[in-house]
Amino acid sequence: MKQHNRSVSVVLVAVSVVGVSAGIASADGMTPSHAPSDKAFVAFMANVNVSEIAAGSNAQKNATSECVRQAGRVLYDNHTQLEVKLKPVAKTLGVSLPSGPTTADQRMFAPVADKAHTPAYDTAWLKMMYPGHKEALATIDQEIASTRNSQVKAYAEMARPIIQAHLDMVYGAKCHTPPSTS
């Protein structure tokens, strides 16, 4: 598989993990500091971050429109910062952070990556970003409402407006001018 396919395909981690994470998150009955839902949420966010970093990087290289390239830059920058801020939370909960995409995720993104450097890539990338960010936002909202772990809640509350801004950028699977990343 081409290198660009491998780096981009992690986008679907968010989509594939969200259902599992949301299901585990609702089955909370443990102490707040080590609740399974908190661990699942941290693992979910780690996968979202890894996938969005790769997707953002790939969009910067392969998109044909300036708007999608800028959106990729915003995703790359924001999720890199979110990942840095997630590391101490993950360490506290004993959650291992992923080092890269799974083979299954690479296969799922291949149809988008195969359209690189064409307008069809931009359309496919945006179509993939919209539902993933919508589901990520729902998972964050669920975690904010249910967690009693102050560290996890603070991370979720900090991440929420960033994910909302990303959703706004790709709303309706159309590119809306991204905010500045300065």
DSSP-assigned states of every residue in 124-143: HHHHHHHHHHHHHHHHHHHH
- HSE, side-chain direction, 13 A CA sphere, residue 136: 33
pLDDT bucket at 28, cuts 50 / 70 / 90: very low
Average pLDDT, integer, range 48-52: 90
Secondary structure of residue 176 in the 3-state scheme: coil
Percent of the chain with pLDDT over 90: 60
| Start-to-end CA span in the chain (Å) | 34
Residue 75: pLDDT above 80? Answer: yes
Average pLDDT, integer, range 56-75: 95
What tens digit of pLDDT does each residue of 92-104 get? 999 999 987 667 6
What tens digit of pLDDT does each residue of 141-176 get? 999 999 999 999 999 999 999 999 999 999 988 999
Residue 24: pLDDT above 80? Answer: no
pLDDT at 7: 39
Average pLDDT, integer, range 3-13: 40
Give 64's DSSP letter.
S
Residue 18: pLDDT above 70? Answer: no
Helix axis angle, 103-113 relative to 36-62, nearest 10°? 30
Percentages helix, strand, coil for the chain (3-state, rounded to 5) are 75, 0, 25
Secondary structure of residue 174 in the 3-state scheme: coil
Q: What is the pTM of this model?
A: 0.79
